[in-house]
């Protein structure tokens, strides 16, 4: 599985934007970029995913570099509830691939949000 590199931790103030970077220099053409987050004492939850174009949803935005070797998860206005571990993960597109859609989690980025 292609690997991702994320900073161990980041800090933000409430109501400020947060940019969480992820490097994935070995990404293949069929890898989707997924972001999940894990709130304290909970299971991971889906945040957003994309392939080549930038994506927006109600939770966040995903900015993907033109060469796809890096991406940035953007939380437009951080709240205290956004304090979590954020995981950047690559998933193969095809069901017939060896990954069968399983996620390979790295260490993630611990986001601390200050009031």
CA distance between the termini of the chain: 38
Partnered with residue 74 across adjacent β-strands are 19, 61
Question: SS3 for 69?
Answer: coil
Cβ nearer to other proteins, comparing 15 with 45: 45
Q: What is the footprint of other proteins within residues 25-44 (CB under 8 A)?
A: 32, 36, 41-44
Classified as helix, coil or strand, 115 is: coil
Q: Does 102 bind other proteins (CB under 8 A)?
A: yes
Which residue, 14 or 21, has its beta carbon nearer to other proteins? 21
Among 25, 26, 52, 94, binds other proteins (CB under 8 A): 94
Separation of alpha carbons 108 and 94, rounded Å: 25
Please pick, from the candidates 75, 87, 109, 113, the single residue that binds other proteins as defined by CB under 8 A.
Answer: 87
């Amino acid at each position: 599985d292609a690997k991702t590199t994320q900073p161990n931790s980041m800090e933000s103030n409430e109501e400020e934007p947060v940019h969480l970077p992820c490097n994935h220099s070995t990404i293949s053409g069929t890898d989707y970029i997924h972001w999940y987050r894990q709130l304290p004492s909970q299971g991971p939850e889906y945040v957003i995913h994309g392939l080549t174009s930038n994506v927006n949803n109600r939770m966040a935005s995903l900015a993907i570099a033109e060469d796809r070797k890096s991406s940035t998860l953007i939380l437009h206005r951080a709240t205290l509830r956004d304090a979590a571990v954020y995981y950047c993960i690559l998933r193969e597109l095809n069901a017939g691939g060896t990954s069968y859609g399983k996620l390979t989690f790295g260490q993630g980025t611990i986001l601390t949000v200050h009031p």
